[in-house]
Amino acid sequence: MTQTEPQTHAAESATPVVAAVPRINITMFCSTQVTSATMKQVVIDRRMARAHVDIREGSIMAAAQAYSQATTPDVLVLETEGHRDQVLSELSQLAQVCDPSTKVILIGHVNDVILYRELIRQGLSEYLVAPVHQLQVIDAISSLFNEPGADPIGRIVAFIGAKGGVGSSTIAHNVATLASGEYQVDTIVTDLDLAFGTAGLNFNQDPAHGIAEAIASSDRIDQTMLERLLTKCNDRLNLLSAPAQVEKSLGIEDDTLEPIIDAIRSSAPLIILDIPNLWTVWSKQLLMGADDVIITSTPDLASLRNTKNIFDFLTAARPNDKAPLVVLNQVGVQKRPEIPVAEFSKAIGVEPTVVIPFDAHVFGTAATNGQMLAEVGPKSKAAEQVAVLGQLLIGKNPDVPQTKGGSALAKLFPMLRKK
């Protein structure tokens, strides 16, 4: 068993980011039904998609017996209901059959500082006090594979329109500008609409490189290459633009984007994914893997249907994440029949996070001049609503780092915290 020092992670947003677990083998031994049920929820979480997990009944001695003639996995998650002396005795027996590279996380039922100190001294990777939450377990596993001193993992906010032309890209780009400007958060906008992406136009940029080159070299993407492909819009905002060319038929393979997104996540605290209105394997993977999802809709029947379908799918597929936020855009177009906001909300089963009124002058001028809404109409209702959305996503003080919970002792023993 190897010892891993507890780590704290700085977060640029109000919502902590739990990193995905790498491709490893994990075996979990559960002695109670409550913990077993929790582990079953852990397995289906999006952050565990790469790992292979085996859930078994039993405690520490069951694991010692199981691996007396077998190789231990990368990570062992064990539950014990024993007291201090029993736990230490059983772990000593497990250590005799446990591979030195195996990391062990113990879920115990006693909140004992002496036990904790002895466990860490003996090389236990982490000790959690039952009952545990799904994300607590996932974060504990993920943290074991973070390199000491590594930068915090970036937070991904994915924007998608319920249909074409609803203004999803415009909202995404305005939120990115707000984050990098008013909130001073380093931000990368990734435009994934290869043929018709508008990020270059909206930011008034004509980049020579972008996402197409990253896709073509996804098997060797690294920080150096990524820096070369990014276009600097301001001190804290970079753009990975789409080529916006129709001469070539550019496609995205199902697993092409994974190394690219991994590289981007380690380059900035906030990543805005501008996803086109496509329902493909890769677009679903990006939506399911995002920390936050924004669905932009308009008050018409097709948008209502599509919004509900996307919302329901993602809510079911991401049980440990916040539900997607819904932006109702282009509301109040003169002489256009619309579904009232109250009826729209009732039909999709959730209130829109913001309702953005249609403003032909502000939106038209911004699109024509390559400007943001706050530049064209800073006091307009549209700009105000985008600011509300940005504040909800970024937090009131995104430029002030926030830890995920302090030291391991403080998490284990709340009675030791200063009052």
pLDDT digits (tens, 9 = 90+) for 335-369: 999 999 999 999 999 999 999 999 999 999 999 99
Buried-state track 66-88, b at ≥16 Cβ within 10 A, e below 16:
bbeeeebbbbbbbbbebeeeebe
Q: Are strands 52-57 and 231-234 parallel, antiparallel or unpaired?
A: unpaired
Please state the rounded mean pLDDT for residues 178-190: 93
Which alpha helices (H) appear in 158-291, and where do they start and end? Answer: 168-181, 199-202, 211-216, 223-229, 257-265, 281-289
Please state the rounded mean pLDDT for residues 276-296: 95
Please state the rounded mean pLDDT for residues 365-385: 94
* pLDDT tens, position by position, 191-230: 999 989 999 999 999 888 899 899 988 889 988 899 999 9
Please state the rounded mean pLDDT for residues 96-108: 93
Let me know how long the chain is: 419
Q: Are strands 237-240 and 231-234 parallel, antiparallel or unpaired?
A: antiparallel
Distances (CA, A) of 281 to 65, 255, 278, 284, 395: 42, 9, 9, 5, 31
Q: What is the pLDDT of residue 81?
A: 94
Q: What is the pLDDT of residue 410?
A: 36
Q: Is residue 303 pLDDT above 90, yes or no? A: yes
Q: What is the pLDDT of residue 92?
A: 92
Q: How confident is the model at residue 6 (pLDDT cuts 50, 70, 90)?
A: very low
Q: What is the pLDDT of residue 186?
A: 92
- Closest by CA to 191, choosing from 82, 274, 109, 293, is 274
Q: Is residue 5 pLDDT above 50, yes or no? A: no
**What is the amino acid identity at position 92?**
S
Q: How confident is the model at residue 408 (pLDDT cuts 50, 70, 90)?
A: very low
Q: Tell me 128's DSSP state.
A: E
Q: What is the pLDDT of residue 150?
A: 58
**Rounded to an integer, what distance in angstroms lies between the CA atom of residue 209 and that of residue 65?**
56
**Rounded to an integer, what distance in angstroms lies between the CA atom of residue 133 and that of residue 289?**
19
End-to-end CA distance of the chain: 36
* pLDDT tens, position by position, 130-169: 999 999 999 999 999 876 655 668 899 999 999 999 999 9
* Domains present along the chain, CATH in parentheses: 25-145 (3.40.50.2300), 155-394 (3.40.50.300)
Whole-number average pLDDT of the chain: 87
Q: What is the pLDDT of residue 47?
A: 92
Q: What is the pLDDT of residue 148?
A: 61
Q: What is the pLDDT of residue 312?
A: 97
Q: Is residue 19 pLDDT above 90, yes or no? A: no
**What is the amino acid identity at position 298?**
T
Q: Is residue 400 pLDDT above 50, yes or no? A: no
Q: What is the pLDDT of residue 132?
A: 95
From 154-163, 166-175, 280-289, 396-405, the region with the lowest mean pLDDT: 396-405
